[in-house]
Structure 1
Amino acid sequence: MSSLSKEAETFTALVLEIFQVNGLLLQAGDQLSAPVGLTSARWQVLGVIDHGPATVAAVARTMGLARQSVQQTADALASDGFVEYVENPHHQRAKLVSLTAAGRRALRKVEAAHASWAARLGGSIAPGLLAAAVEGIREARMRLEADLAVTEEGAHGA
């Protein structure tokens, strides 16, 4: 017999669904990005710096990932010519990761593939159901962010 309340069971079911969806989204992202020599992780990094050069630490914060994993991805992208490290006017040692022309071309191709994929899948789900799912997941994310902030604050204040 479970000691979880009905609300806790439902929230746990949501978390498990999100974990499964995350894995499937990474697989789909790998399929969408593979034709241009990218992976989901590489595509995500390019998407962040498409808005302008950023440090690895800033990219990691934006993506909610560990700096070390983003560093490895950025280094691989640089090795393949999709990004380059450029001087940072605000910090001597922390270089900025910047898109190259090849990175921008690859990103645009993946974005085009993503647009048709998203239209196909999004069109197969009832609009009200899709909007409710987005709203529910957004609310869960905001609650998690607030809870983690309180937890971190407590850990630092202790």
Structure 2
Amino acid sequence: MPRADSGELLSGTALAVFRLNGQFLDVAEAMARPAGLTAAWWQVLGAVLYEPLPVAGIARAMGITRQSVQRIADLLVAKGLAEYRPNPAHARAKLLVPTEAGRAAVARIDPAHQDLADRLAARLGPDRFAEILDALTDLSTAMSDLADG
């Protein structure tokens, strides 16, 4: 079978990633809904579960706009799922931190998340699953490098 040219590879990869993104968003919404969250709220809370971050840091880590993170962070704070704390490194860029209610909401998602992870690992095999993660990470790094350079 002849190899596709680079343009076809890029188009095929982009379409697969777009489709996969939609699939992840659908399943994330279904997992988050019973916990009283949306996929976007879960994504932002997840970014700060282990380390407080400013909105711009969350946006960089997640690859989304600062404005969309700000809107979600403000909603999370208003709903008591997160709070802003002073940032010793930057007076104006407060740190977002989950509250106990925010942590509890994310914890309610854990069983469904683990179930999906286990089913995917069983379907793909753990080694192949790890290879896919490595490949997607490499692709993301290459895209960042090209955008920066």
Q: Please, what TM-score do these two structures have when normalized by structure 1? A: 0.84
**Kindly, what percent of the aligned residue pairs are identical?**
36
CA change 1:127–1:88 in 2 (3 A) is: closer
After superposition, the C-alpha distances for 1:95-123 in whole angstroms (9 at most, x for unaligned) are: 11111000111111212320111111331
The AA in structure 2 aligned to 1:75 is D
Structure 2 CA distance for partners of 1:61 and 1:20, relative to 1, 3 Å: same
Q: In 2 relative to 1, CA 98–127 (structure 1 residues): closer, same or farther, beyond 3 Å?
A: closer
| Partner amino acid, structure 1, of 2:87 | N
- Written as runs of structure 1 = structure 2, the 5 A alignment for 1:7-156 is 7-127=6-126, 129-150=128-149
- Tell me, in whole angstroms, the C-alpha distance in 2 between the residues paired with 1:106 and 1:134: 26
CA gap 1:92/1:136 in 2 versus in 1, 3 angstroms: closer
Normalising by structure 2, what TM-score?
0.88
Give a deviation string over 1:21-43, Cα, whole Å, max 9, x none: 10110110010011111111111
Larger Rg: 1
Quick check: 107-116 or 20-29, which moved more?
Answer: 107-116
Instruction: Give the root-mean-square deviation of aligned CA atoms.
Output: 1.7
How far the C-alpha of 1:127 sits from its partner, in A, is 4.5
For structure 1, which runs of at least 5 residues remain unmatched after alignment?
A: 151-158
